[in-house]
Structures are given as C-alpha cells and as structure tokens.
C-alpha cells in the first residue's frame, strides 16, 4: 500500500519533514491565516508527488491557496479539512507537478519546418540566422511566443527557459498567458533582429533585466549568450560579469556539436567546457543546453560548479549532434533536466516525447535496458529539471509550501488500459494530448482541454497569416535564383 511522509510548517520561514504513518491516516497541511475557503483543490486517482521519497498517493488531492500548495494527501481528508472555491475532479486523472522545459526558443514556432534535414552549422548559418534577420521583429516574437505558450500549456509544460530576441515581448506574453519562465536576453556577436552585435546585446540585456527583475514572481530575466563560436572568450567573460553584477543566471549552448568542440580546440587550444572553466564562466548559476560532447574530465567540472545541464534528445537526434552521456553525468552528480529546443529543430514542444526519447537513447547507447528508468526521466522533467534551472526550492514537486504548478493527466484513453504502473505509463505511454488541466501559481490555465488564458482562435489566425507572408517571400526568392 502506498505511503506518504508528511511535512508540517513549524515556523514562517522553515519547513520540517516528519515521517508519518500510512497515507489514509494523515494529510500534510499548511495552516491558513483564517477560516475562509481556499482557492482550489485538485483531485486524482493518484497523486505523483515527485518529492524526495517519490510518494505516489492513491485517491489523493492537492489543496492550493494564494498560489501555494497548502496540503497534499488523501482526497477524503483534504475535502473534510478544506472548503474550496473550485475543485478539479479526479476521476481517471493523475495529478503531478507541471513539466519543466529547460531550453527553448519559443518564438521559433513560426519557423517550424522552414529548414529541415540539415547539419547544425548549415542549418544555422545558411537558413535560420538569415531568416531571423529578415523576418523576426517584435510582432513575430509576440505571435510566435503566444503560439509556443499555447502548445506548451496544452502539453502540460508550466515552466520554460527561453532564449530569443525581443525579451521584453516574450516577458509580456508570459505575464499574460500565466506560465512561469526564465527569459534570456540573447547575446551574440553579429547583427541580430534586436541588436547590432555583442556589446549592443549586453547593453540591451542589462536594460531588460533591470526592467523585469523582481517585477513579477513568475518571470525571471536572465542572460543568454549564444555559444563560444558566436562570441569570443572576452565577450563571454563580459556577459558573465554583467550577470554577476545583476545577480542573474545564464543560459547558453554548451558542447552541442562536434563542430563546436573542434572550433574551441582550434581557437583556444581546449574543449568548450574547459574553456568556460578557464575564464571563470561557471562562477555564477549556469544553465547549459545540450552538453552532448563533454570529456570524462569535464563532467566533474559540471558537477562541482553545479551547472544545470539540459538534455534535448529530439533536437540532438534530428540535427545529428550526437547522444549526450546523460547516464554518466547523473552518476557524477550533475543536475540534468530536459528541454525541447526550438520548434525549428525539433519540430514540436512536446516534453512527453523528450522523456521517452531520453530514456530510449541511453538504453540503446549503453546497450543496457536498465539505465535511465522511467522514474529518473520523470524527475528530469519535473523536480530534477527545476533544480537544473535553479528553481528546485519553489517548483518541481508537490509539497507543502511550494508554488502550485500542477497538472492533471487523463488516464481514460485506450492506451492507458490497463495501467499496472502509473509512473511507467506517464513516461512510456502518455503524450501531450492526455493532459487535461494545467495550473500555474494556483491559476487554472487550461481546464479539461480548454485554454483559459490564450485566445487560441486569434493566435492561430495571426500565426497562419504571418507564416503565409514568410512562405510567399521564400518562394519569390527561390524563383529568382
């Protein structure tokens, strides 16, 4: 029989975990200031907590008030303890933490399929970078980010780390749609849609971070230097200094491709991660996307420096970047999460697909079906992913005192019949179409498949119109060649 350990708040500033009896006997609760009804109760046939003990509660529920989880436990006891203004019923529903997409370029949904079946540098230099300079402006970013948020909410993603242009526009969209995000000001040493080069990128990034830091609890402005082949060592170091002065993390592509590693060797006489270590780049919080080609000597550096590595299996496979040594990094104590990358190199934002492929890639690469089991991959998409991006103390698991980022997954489709192991089915069976309801910071963003915060009809119309303009321009160009 499933058991749960309950946590009790003993002071305003600290939460202490205590071991208790079977889940039917008690419920983990956070005392309320008054006797008024709480905001929301979410019920499920099972609650997959992803807490330190990986408790799964049968006939469970999560109680939420003012954006915070105030109780996790048996559904009958929570209903008896709390009166809620709204309840999301739990028949054929699994309740779990929202998914964390640790690396994305959200607005690139509008470039989905514009250039496929190409190697990374060919794809970037000959298709994506030119297309971005020509087509990307603030309106492109607004529409593309709205489209991405719609897709991510639809698939149960509640938090994402973004790296793109016009970060103020991205932040405004995230503020309106209700998601949680770390939003990067992109730094790159070339003309881009919103800057003339590295110095201009850093300057504008500083202004963006100063505008948004502390402005909204769901939005964290950060720096996003692109890579060590689009920025030189001094520009990378300057970006880190700016991040340290502002007290914000950095998100960056690291050791993504053989090209990048060879470029670093040729230019600096060392591999990518060794270069970053040599210039003190890891002295502040770092979210490293991809990390496909770390050496055996570099993996301990990632662990020691507490670098959050974001594995992007679909993108890595599609562009043939390689297979990241995820199993080795986890064994060394590296914090590893999952990401989709952008929709132009994936070509979707489906975190369920990333979970499956992450597990299968490691199994076939190591020729061992026991590596990267379902529970480990589910952690990479939730609690482990939250830790990798620096938010492990506030999201990623269903625990009293954490922010209420919660999803319900429907288990009434034929592919869930029968279900012997809930966690196994979440990773190896479920897909984005199974997500029923999504809650972020205690606010319902999607209720039984119906979006609450995004005008999907308008977004679809605007995205299609803009895509038609891009398609027309590309076709005219091809005719003149």
Coil, strand or helix: which one is 72?
Answer: strand
What does the pLDDT read at residue 16? 33
> Which residues make Cβ contacts (< 8 Å) with residue 408, sequence separation at least 6?
42, 44, 88, 90, 93, 94, 95, 435, 436, 437, 438
Q: Is 250 in contact with 237 (CB distance < 8 Å)?
A: no
**6-98+399-448 and 99-388 have identical folds:** no
| Record: fold of 99-388 | TIM Barrel (3.20.20)
Q: Is 163 in contact with 221 (CB distance < 8 Å)?
A: no
Tens of pLDDT, residues 152-183: 999 999 999 999 999 999 999 999 999 999 99
In CATH terms, 6-98+399-448 corresponds, of 1.10.3190.10, 3.30.2390.10, 3.20.20.70, 2.30.40.10, to: 2.30.40.10
Helix 138-154 and helix 456-480, axial crossing angle in degrees, nearest 10 = 130
Tens of pLDDT, residues 186-195: 999 999 999 9
Token reading at 88: 């999301």
Closest CA to 305 of 388, 184, 185: 388
- Strand pairing report for 68-74 and 56-65: antiparallel
> Residue 26 and residue 35: Cα distance in Å, rounded?
20
Q: Which of 29-38, 339-348, 392-401, 416-425 has the lowest mean pLDDT?
A: 29-38
Checking if the pLDDT of 123 tops 90, the result is no
Q: What is the pTM of this model?
A: 0.91
Place of tokens 């505008």: 211
Residues 225-244, mean pLDDT to the nearest whole number: 97
Closest CA to 398 of 113, 158, 226, 176: 158
Opening angle at CA 35, ends 29 and 36, nearest 5? 105
> Residue 349 and residue 101: Cα distance in Å, rounded?
9
Q: Where are the domains of the chain?
A: 6-98+399-448, 99-388
Closest CA to 294 of 317, 320, 327: 327
Q: Is 329 in contact with 299 (CB distance < 8 Å)?
A: yes
Tens of pLDDT, residues 268-294: 999 999 999 999 999 999 999 999 999
Instruction: Indicate the burial class of 20 (C-beta count within 10 angstroms; 0-12, 13-18, 19 or more).
Output: middle
Residues 450-457, mean pLDDT to the nearest whole number: 98
**pLDDT band of 316, cuts 50, 70, 90:** very high
């Amino acid at each position: 029989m499933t058991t749960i350990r309950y946590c009790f708040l003993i002071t305003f500033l600290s939460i202490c975990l205590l071991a208790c009896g079977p889940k039917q006997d008690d419920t983990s609760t956070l005392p309320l200031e008054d006797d008024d009804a709480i905001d929301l109760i979410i019920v499920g046939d099972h609650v997959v907590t992803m807490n330190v003990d990986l408790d799964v509660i049968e006939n469970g529920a999560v109680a939420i008030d003012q954006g915070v989880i105030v109780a996790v436990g048996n559904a009958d006891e929570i209903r008896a303890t709390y009166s809620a203004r709204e309840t999301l019923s739990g028949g054929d529903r699994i309740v779990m933490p929202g998914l964390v997409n640790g690396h994305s370029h959200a607005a690139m949904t509008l470039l989905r399929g514009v250039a496929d079946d190409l190697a990374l540098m060919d794809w970037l230099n000959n298709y994506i970078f030119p297309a971005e300079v020509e087509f990307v402006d603030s309106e492109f970013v607004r529409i593309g980010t709205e489209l991405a948020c719609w897709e991510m909410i639809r698939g149960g993603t509640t938090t994402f780390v973004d790296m793109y242009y016009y970060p103020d526009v991205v932040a405004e969209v995230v503020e309106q749609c209700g998601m949680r995000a770390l939003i990067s000001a992109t730094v790159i040493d070339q003309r881009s849609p919103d800057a003339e080069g590295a110095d201009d990128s850093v300057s504008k990034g500083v202004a963006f971070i100063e505008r948004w830091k502390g402005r909204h609890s769901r939005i964290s402005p950060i720096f996003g230097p692109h890579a060590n082949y689009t920025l030189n060592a001094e520009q990378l170091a300057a970006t880190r200094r700016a991040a340290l002065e502002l007290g914000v993390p950095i998100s960056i592509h690291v050791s993504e491709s053989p090209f990048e590693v060879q470029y670093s060797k040729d230019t600096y006489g060392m591999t990518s991660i060794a270069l970053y270590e040599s210039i003190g780049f890891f002295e502040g919080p770092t979210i490293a996307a991809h990390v496909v080609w770390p050496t055996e000597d570099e993996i301990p550096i990632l662990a020691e420096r507490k670098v959050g590595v974001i594995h992007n299996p679909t993108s890595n496979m599609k562009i043939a970047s390689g297979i990241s040594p995820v199993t080795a990094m986890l064994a060394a104590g590296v914090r590893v999460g999952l990401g989709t990358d952008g929709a132009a190199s994936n070509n979707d934002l489906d975190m369920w697909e990333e979970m499956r492929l992450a597990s299968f890639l490691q199994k076939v690469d190591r020729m061992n079906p026991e590596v990267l089991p379902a529970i480990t991959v589910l952690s990479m998409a939730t609690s482990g992913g939250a830790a990798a991006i620096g938010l492990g103390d506030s999201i990623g698991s269903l625990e009293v005192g954490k922010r209420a980022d919660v999803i319900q997954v429907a288990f009434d489709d034929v592919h869930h019949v029968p279900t012997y192991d809930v966690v196994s089915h979440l990773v190896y069976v479920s897909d984005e179409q199974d997500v029923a309801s999504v809650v972020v910071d205690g606010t319902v963003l999607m209720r039984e498949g119906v979006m609450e915060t995004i005008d999907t009809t308008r977004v679809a119309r605007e995205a299609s119109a803009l895509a038609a303009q891009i398609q027309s321009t590309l076709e005219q160009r091809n005719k003149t060649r």
